[in-house]
Amino acid sequence: MTEEKGIDVGLRQFIKNLGYVAGGATLLASAPWLTSCTPEKLEEIGKQKARIGLIGSGSRGQYHIHNLLQIPHAELVAICDIYQPNLDAALALCPGAKTFSDYHKLLEDKDIDGVIIATPLSFHASMTLDALAAGKHVFCEKAMALTLDDCKRVYQEYQNTDRALFYCMQRMYDEKYIKAMKMIQDGLIGDVVGMRCHWFRNADWRREVPSPEYERMINWRLYKEYSGGLMTELGSHQLEVCNWAIHKMPTYITGLGDIVFWKDSREVYDSVSVTYGYADGRKITYESLISNKFNGMEEQILGSMGTMDLSRGVYYLEDDNMVPGMRKLMDEIKTGVFASIPTAGPSWRPELRSAYVPHPVMEGGFGVTSGESMIGAVKDGSDVILSAFCQSCITGEKAKDVVEEAYCSTALCLLGNEAMDRKMVLTFPDEYKIPYMKF
């Protein structure tokens, strides 16, 4: 390609850095979905452009527009929204795009190759099914659907179509996550013995509405008719990386959810705590609340020899500080802090987290987000996955495992909500298992 912009230059280098072997189309086994967007395939499309239609032009839709404008093999040709202020704001970014208030009319447009769906969760399944039926490639925001039945319907339809379907699970295209997963699967932190994730914010999740009739349209995240709350909005990303780390699914789910602080007529929990248990005894502990931000966002894979902090792109080794710890102890003996001390080598190992040394998973600078933004962050993988989707709109090639990973994480989020609602331990239902899953 003679025309180059940042995303695609970065995409090529990104894939090469991950271990791509020229001519062999071999990528790291830890991220098989990257095989559909290799540097050679990007070169093959030449100056072709994917003609994209956007359904839903709110803050996240406009975030995608900004990324699309940096992708040389993409052209935004149509925008659809039922809320005129959002449509006007998006059109200001792409003045040449057609506009629609009915997404069915947009899907009838033969000049559109693929669509981005950035609407409330309750519309994801129906719009995805309609778009696939119209012959469009689809890029949909997470989570996959609001119900397990709808997840299953979308998954089954995807098996019967030749169209590409992506879900914006951007961590799957974030370089630091991919490199960290390779390290985990190569045994750097030993046997994975557990996983813990949390996401804390301090904000009411509300947006200003011009008049009361727009309340549910604009603040849809707060109402069960449209939203799965903290689990689908935040937990879907974090539970996906847990599945990715060990290639297995939990067998049981339990948890507690409450509206603790934001008592403003919302219906979804503002505080959730869920435990997912595996057949072999390992567990995911997941927690999120939006009335305290002290702990921020973390995704930790705990191993017998170390800990991988995925969100920060660093790892810690259990034995890093044995020698310094012993030196400190011997100094204390010399200065008389201890009158006598038993010589039990392993017991000298420091046990406090503050003693651990962080090691970056990558050389040089890389993006780390705080998790505070409700819209998106720079260089969090969203730009790369969108570029890969646009490439698939041209080549027609599906991205391996993206739909399956989205299905798995969405199912865990929805079952987490059900377990909290029913205040009981649930077993993963047989009727929603798919061949991709391993238990």
What's residue 2's pLDDT? 37
What's residue 28's pLDDT? 61
What confidence tens digit (pLDDT) does each residue in 248-295 have? 999 999 999 999 999 999 999 999 999 999 999 999 999 999 999 999
Q: Which of 81-90, 150-159, 178-187, 222-231 has the lowest mean pLDDT?
A: 178-187
Which residue type does 96 have? G
What's residue 352's pLDDT? 55
What's residue 123's pLDDT? 98
The band of 363, judged by pLDDT with boundaries at 50, 70 and 90, is: confident
> Where do the domains of the chain lie, and which CATH numbers do they carry?
6-172+378-398 (3.40.50.720), 177-375+408-432 (3.30.360.10)
DSSP helix/strand/coil, 273:
strand
Q: Which residues contact 102 (CB under 8 A, 6 or more apart)?
A: 80
Element (H, E) at 68: helix 59-68
What confidence tens digit (pLDDT) does each residue in 57-86 have? 999 999 999 999 999 999 999 999 999 999
Q: How far apart are CA 386 and CA 69, in angstroms?
A: 11
pTM higher than 0.85: yes
β-bridge pairing 426-427 and 137-140? unpaired
What is the CA 187 to chain-centroid distance, rounded?
A: 23
What confidence tens digit (pLDDT) does each residue in 168-216 have? 999 999 989 998 999 999 999 999 999 999 999 999 999 999 999 999 9
Q: Is the pLDDT confidence value at 326 over 50?
A: no
The band of 425, judged by pLDDT with boundaries at 50, 70 and 90, is: very high
- Comparing CA positions, the residue from 194, 274, 289, 269 lying closest to residue 228 is 269
Q: What is the DSSP string of 110-155?
A: TT--EEEE-S-GGGHHHHHHHHHHTT-EEEE-SSS-SSHHHHHHHH
Q: Which residues contact 162 (CB under 8 A, 6 or more apart)?
A: 396
Which residue type does 294 have? F
Q: How far apart are CA 59 and CA 384, in angstroms?
A: 19
Angle between helix 59-68 and helix 382-395 axes, rounded to 10 deg: 70
Q: Which residues contact 152 (CB under 8 A, 6 or more apart)?
A: 431, 432
Q: Which residues contact 189 (CB under 8 A, 6 or more apart)?
A: 183, 301, 302, 303, 304, 305, 306, 307, 308, 315, 317
What's residue 35's pLDDT? 84
DSSP-assigned letter for residue 428: P
Q: How far apart are CA 415 and CA 413, in angstroms?
A: 5
The band of 23, judged by pLDDT with boundaries at 50, 70 and 90, is: very low
Average pLDDT score over residue span 359-384? 79
Q: Is the pLDDT confidence value at 332 over 70?
A: no
Burial of 251 (0-12, 13-18, 19+ CB in 10 A): middle
Q: What is the DSSP string of 79-90?
A: EE-SSHHHHHHH
What's residue 11's pLDDT? 58
Q: Is the pLDDT confidence value at 302 over 50?
A: yes
